[in-house]
Amino acid sequence: MTAPPPPLGLLAELTHRCPLRCPYCSNPVELSRASAELDAATWGRVFREAAALGVLQLHLSGGEPAARRDLPEIVAHAASAGLYSNLITSGVTLDAERLRALAAAGLDHVQLSVQDAEAGSADRIGGLRGGHARKLDFARAVEAAGLPLTLNAVVHRQNLDRLGGLIDLALELGAGRLEVAHVQYYGWALRNRDALLPSRAQLDAATRTVTEARERLRGRLVIDYVVPDYHAKRPKACMGGWGRSFIAVSPAGRALPCHAAESLPGFDFPDVREHSLAWIWTESEAFQRFRGTGWMPEPCRGCEHKERDWGGCRCQAFALTGDTAATDPACAHSPHHHLLDLAVQDAAVAGVEFTYREMGAATAG
């Protein structure tokens, strides 16, 4: 196998601690404790190795990265390594003073998550009373600090009808980019699929809303749109393909081809404290296992789209079939495609209650 091109982005998951309890949380079911988190100096070494490997963009995420008291030091390490840093945050624990400290340390960009355009619904989904108001205050602080802002709206059955309001909110807050990301159903979100999966009518209406807004707001707001797989006939190239353009590092130092890959069995994901990022990217078995097309089963192996979708999502394939190497059920040619149709039918008659994400336990809401 030829050497892979360098990764474009590094996702640094600084912590799994988070004040929100989102029912679609993308972090692993088993969370890392604070005592297991990499220290700032180790993150600094990882950032330098990432820059040497060819990484251009660094995404500081979690959990909630602001739970780290040493976040300004971590940001400073990123700036020193020459990486463009993007802070992915809920915004509910950051104030103007801490944001100014991050900007002074070299932070380049802020990506703020929102749960809805309407405060009551947003607070219910995030599981934090008053959280939406704190987010709005933080967004205004971002503007005052002169930092560019992206709004990240995770959409699903319980907020999708207010997508127009989310677009208006992005404009109101001065965001240059809005990411409309449908929930992806693995990990914790799979537990809440019946309460979150939108109908086809909702999805079609949302797509029309995005299409119209992109045209109307051209030059004012960039809208990224990540659709769900459960109404699809073809899978997405998850993370640009396994081990092709993206590398993630967990709070405890595990290097991953995608942020959800720790849910997959049978892997020994390498530790950045034991191996260099360059070795992990080019040599480790975990990154090579599903890289390229040689691993693919039929019908993927003979498919004309195999170097476009790269086999789809391994986490979704495992979640639905129990086989990490199975054809992604999002593909109409998958023998398991009917499982998506059954899930859509079940969600159509399900209730709206979901199970909140907790650090130590689950609660119904």
Q: What tens digit of pLDDT does each residue of 225-265 get? A: 988 889 989 998 888 899 999 999 999 999 999 988 988 99
365 — pLDDT class (breaks 50, 70, 90):
very low
Q: What is the pLDDT of residue 362?
A: 36
HSE of 208 in the Cβ direction (CA atoms, 13 Å)? 7
Closest CA to 65 of 42, 104, 93, 45: 93
Q: Which residues are annotated as a binding site?
A: 18, 22, 25
Q: What is the pLDDT of residue 293?
A: 93
Q: Which residues are annotated as a binding site for [4Fe-4S] cluster?
A: 18, 22, 25
Residue 356 vs residue 174, higher pLDDT: 174
Residue 33 vs residue 42, higher pLDDT: 42
Q: Enumerate the domain spans of the chain.
A: 9-226
Q: What is the pLDDT of residue 1?
A: 55
CA of 210: how far to CAs of 160, 216, 219, in Å?
Answer: 11, 10, 15
In this prediction the pTM is: 0.93
Closest CA to 187 of 265, 115, 243, 262: 262
Q: For the segment 74-83, what is each residue's pLDDT rounded down to a tens digit?
A: 999 999 999 9
Alpha carbon distance 331, 312 (integer Å)? 8
Residue 361 above 60 pLDDT? no
Q: In the CATH scheme, what architecture does the domain 9-226 have?
A: Alpha-Beta Barrel (3.20)
Residue 363 above 50 pLDDT? no
Alpha carbon distance 75, 188 (integer Å)? 29
Q: What is the pLDDT of residue 359?
A: 58
In the chain, % of residues over pLDDT 70? 97
Name the DSSP class of 302.
Answer: T
43-52, 206-215, 296-305, range with the lowest pLDDT: 296-305
Q: What does the block give as tokens for 215?
A: 């045209």
Q: What is the pLDDT of residue 85?
A: 98
Instruction: Write phi, then psi, for 255 (nearest 5 degrees).
Output: -90, 135
Residue 54 above 50 pLDDT? yes
Strands (E), 228-351: 246-249, 255-256
Beta pairing class for 57-61 and 255-256: unpaired
Q: For the segment 277-304, what is each residue's pLDDT rounded down to a tens digit?
A: 999 999 999 999 999 999 998 889 999 9
Alpha carbon distance 256, 177 (integer Å)? 27
Closest CA to 154 of 261, 20, 332: 20
Q: For the segment 93-146, what is each residue's pLDDT rounded down to a tens digit?
A: 999 999 999 999 999 999 999 999 999 999 999 999 999 999 999 999 999 999
Closest CA to 200 of 223, 231, 227, 171: 231
